[in-house]
C-alpha cells in the first residue's frame, strides 16, 4: 500500500469519498510533491503549486520535505506548523494548532521525532530534539520539550506524563498496517 492509498484508507471508515475532504486533499498534494520531486520536474512543479496554494488557503505549514510515514491524518486544518526536519511515524493524527518546532541552541537543540500511532491534540506544542514514543497521546494545549515514553499521555503546560497501555488505541481510527 503506497502512502496515498494509506491516507485514503484512514478516511474510508468515515466518508465514502475522501477526495471531498480538504484535509485529505492537502496531504495528497504533499505526497504528490514527494513522489514527483526527483522523477518529473513538470509534475513536481504542478503539484508544488497546488500544495503551496493549499498551505495558504488552509493556514497550514507542513513543508513538502518533512518525512511523514503512512497513514498521516489531519483531522482539522488551520494553524498547523511543522519544521522541515521533523520526522513523523505511521498512523499519526494531527488536530489544528499543532506546532512541531526546532530549538536552535542548548541541550535540546534540534527537532522532534514522532513515533507510530500518536495523537497530537489541538494547540499542542512539541519542540527541540525530543523523541515521542509509540501509542502516545499529546493532549490539547500540552507543551512538550522532553522525551515521552511509549504508551503514555502528556497533559498540561508544562507537560506531565501519565503512563498507560496502548493509550492511543481508541484515538487512532482505521490505523494502517505497516
Task: From the candidates 76, 122, 129, 147, give the one annotated as an active-site residue.
Answer: 76
Active site (annotated) includes residue 53: no
Question: Contact 96/80 with Cβ under 8 angstroms?
Answer: yes
Distances (CA, A) of 87 to 50, 62, 99, 114, 151: 23, 12, 13, 6, 19
Question: Contact 88/68 with Cβ under 8 angstroms?
Answer: yes
Question: The C-alpha cell of 161 is what?
Answer: 506524563
Q: Which residues pair with 86 in a beta bridge?
A: none
Catalytic residues: 76
Amino acid at each position: 500500500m503506497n502512502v496515498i492509498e494509506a491516507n485514503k484508507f484512514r478516511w474510508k471508515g468515515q466518508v465514502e469519498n475522501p477526495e471531498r475532504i480538504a484535509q485529505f486533499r492537502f496531504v495528497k498534494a504533499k505526497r504528490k510533491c514527494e513522489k514527483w520531486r526527483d522523477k518529473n520536474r513538470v509534475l513536481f512543479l504542478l503539484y508544488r503549486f497546488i500544495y503551496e496554494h493549499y498551505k495558504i488557503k488552509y493556514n497550514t505549514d507542513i513543508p513538502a520535505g518533512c518525512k511523514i510515514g503512512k497513514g498521516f491524518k489531519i483531522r482539522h486544518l488551520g494553524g498547523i506548523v511543522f519544521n522541515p526536519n521533523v520526522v513523523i511515524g505511521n498512523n499519526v493524527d494531527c488536530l489544528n494548532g499543532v506546532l512541531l518546532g526546532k530549538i536552535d541552541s542548548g541541550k535540546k537543540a534540534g527537532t522532534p521525532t514522532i513515533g507510530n500511532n500518536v495523537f497530537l491534540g489541538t494547540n499542542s506544542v512539541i519542540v527541540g530534539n525530543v523523541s515521542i514514543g509509540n501509542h502516545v497521546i499529546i493532549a490539547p494545549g500540552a507543551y512538550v520539550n522532553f522525551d515521552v515514553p511509549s504508551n503514555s499521555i502528556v497533559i498540561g503546560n508544562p507537560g506531565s506524563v501519565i503512563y498507560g497501555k496502548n493509550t492511543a488505541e481508541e484515538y487512532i481510527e482505521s490505523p494502517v498496517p505497516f
